[in-house]
Amino acid sequence: VKSIWMKGKLIFLLASLFFFQTCLSARTLMVVGVTRTGARYPFEHMKEGDEEWLKHPGDVNEVGLRQHYVLGREFAKRYIHDTKLLSESYDPQEFYFRASDQERAIKSAYAQLAGLYMAGTGTLLDEYQQKHALPPLGSFNDFTQWQEQLRDAALPHFYQAAPVHSFGGEDYLLESAALCPAYTDYLNSYYKDNSGKKGPITIEEDSLMDSLYPTLAEKMGKDVGDFNLTYLAKVHDYVEGAYYLGKNPFELEVKTILDIQKAEEWYHYNYLLANEKLATLVNTNMFKSIHSYFNASIYSETKIKFAMFVGHELNLAGILKALEYEGDLKIPPFAALVTFTLTQEDDGIYYVTASYNFDWSKKWNLTEFENMIFDKKGNFTYDGDFMKFCNEKTEEKLAAVSLDINSGWQIAGWLIFVIGLILTWGTWYLVNIRKSKKSGYEQKINISGVTGEEDEDAQESLTQLGLCC
C-alpha cells in the first residue's frame, strides 16, 4: 500500500510540475516573417551556350523552389506541431501570405505553402460532391477518367490549395525601394559617381580589385577596362546563379568566386542595400504593419496567427540595418528569413522577438518595440507623410530638370523677353520725358502769374519733373 501511495504521489508531483511549467511558459500569439525569394537564374546571358541551363532569366529555379518548400516544412514543425500556433488542418483565417509582384517571389511563396500544408492535408469530397465537381462544359465532355483518378480528393495527392496575395506594381510594403524615386535617384547617382571606379575607396578593396579584375578579364575574354562596379554586379549575379545549379561557366577557381562575393558584399550591401535612406524607405510600412498585426492580435481583432511576406534582399537588408544585426554584414542569401514573434509570458507582459534565420535573435517587451518604431524612428520608420518622403527627390529633380530640358531655347526665350522689355520701357521713357519737358517749359513761362496755394502746387509739380527749384 505504501509503495502504491508513493507511486501515486510521484505521479501527482510530476503532473503538477508539468502543468506548472506549461502555465509559466510563453504563449506564442503571432508570427510575422519576411523572406527573400529562393535561388534564381541569372538575369542575363554572359557566355555562348549558357541557354542550355539558363532557361528563364531572373526566375526562381528548381533549387529555389526546394529551399522554400523546406522552409515551409520547418514552419509546419515549429508552428503546427511544436507550439500548436496553427491548426493541423488548413484554416484560411489563420494565416496570410503575400509576395511582391515578381514571378520568382510568387512561386517561392507557393512552394513555401506546399511545405507548410504538404500533400495529404487537402480536403475530401463526399459522393454527392464527387458527382457535381465538374465544370459546366456540356454533356458531350467525358470527365469519367478524372473522377476515377481523383476519387474523393479535391486535388491530386490531396494537395491543399492556399492563396498568395500580390498588389501588382503598387506594393509600397515589399517594393517601396523600387517604387520610391527618393531611392532610385540615390541608386542612379551612386552608379553614375562610381561607374568608373574599381570599388569603394579603401586600400584593401582597391587591392582586391587590382587582382580580381585582370583574373576575370582573362577568364571571360574581356578587356580589363570593361570592369567596374556596375559590371561586377552583373558578374556576381551570373556566377552566383550558376553556382546554385552546379555550374561554373568560366571555370573560375574557388578563391576567385569568393573574391567576387567579397567585393560585392563591400559595395553592394554596405553602400546600396543597407544605407539609411533605403532602410527607412523599406522599413516604414513594414514595421507599421507588423505593429498593426500585433495590436490586432492582442485585442482579438484578427484571427491571423501567421503572416509571411516574400520579397527580396532589399527588404531583409533594410530590416537587419534597423535591428543593428551583429553578424556578418553581407547580402542576405536566397531564402533568408527574418521573423518577428509576439508572445505573452508568465508576467502577463507581451514580448517581441526578432530572429534572423532562426539563429541570431533580439528581444524587447512590446513597449520597447513600439518606442523603437515610433520614437527612435531612425532606420525604422519615417515620421511624416511617407509618400512625400518617397517622392521628395523626384520633386527636387523635376524642378532642376525643368531648367535643364531645352535649356538653350529657354535661355534664348528669356533673353528675347528681357530685351523686348528694355526696349519697350526705353521707348516709353523717352516719349514721356519729351512730353514732360515741353509741359514744364510752358508751365515755367506762366509761373510768374501764379500766386498762393497754386504757386506751391505748381512748384511741387515742377520739382517732381526735375525742372524747378
Tell me the three cell numbers of residue 466. Answer: 526735375
For residue 22, name the pLDDT band (cuts at 50, 70, 90). very low
Choice among 25-29, 51-55, 434-438 with the minimum mean pLDDT: 434-438
Q: What is the pLDDT of residue 261?
A: 87
Mean pLDDT across the chain: 80
- Greater confidence (237 vs 328) lies with 237
- How far, in Å, CA of 391 to CA of 158, rounded? 48
Q: What is the per-residue pLDDT across 188-243, written as a single tens digit (0 to 9) for each?
A: 776 666 555 554 444 455 677 788 889 999 999 999 888 877 788 899 999 999 99
Does the pLDDT value for residue 398 go beyond 70? no
Question: Which residue has cell 523686348?
Answer: 420
pLDDT at 105 over 60: yes
What's residue 206's pLDDT? 66
Which of 89-103, 186-200, 265-279 is least confident? Answer: 186-200
Strand partners, 83: none
Contact 38, 111 (CB under 8 A): yes
Q: For residue 29, which phi and psi values (nearest 5 degrees)?
A: -105, -35
Q: What is the pLDDT of residue 378?
A: 75
What's residue 19's pLDDT?
A: 43
Residue 39 DSSP symbol: P
The pLDDT of 294-310, averaged and rounded, is 96
- Spatial neighbors of 68 by CB under 8 A, at least 6 apart, are 35, 37, 38, 108, 109, 111, 112, 115, 310, 335
Q: pLDDT grade, residue 439 (50/70/90)?
A: very low
Q: Which of 463, 431, 427 is nearest to 447 (CA)?
A: 463
Residue that has been written with the C-alpha cell 487537402 in this structure: 122
With 70 as the cut, is the pLDDT of residue 314 above it?
yes
Q: Residue 113 pLDDT more than 70?
A: yes
Among residues 290, 316, 312, 283, the alpha carbon closest in space to that of 100 is found at 312
* pLDDT at residue 75 greater than cutoff 90: yes
**Per-residue confidence (pLDDT) for residue 194, from 0 to 100:** 59
CA pair distance 413, 315, nearest whole angstrom: 47
- As a whole number of angstroms, the distance between CA 21 and CA 193 comes to 60
pLDDT at 382: 87
User: What pLDDT does residue 142 have?
Assistant: 78
280 — pLDDT class (breaks 50, 70, 90): confident
Owner of C-alpha cell 505593429: 291
- The mean per-residue pLDDT over the stretch 295-313 comes to 96
Cα dihedral 374, 379, 382, 388, rounded to 10, equals -170
Instruction: Give me the residues paired with residue 96 across strands.
Output: 307
Percent of the chain residues past pLDDT 90, beyond the cut: 42
Which cell is 161 given?
A: 490549395
Residue 9 confidence (pLDDT): 55
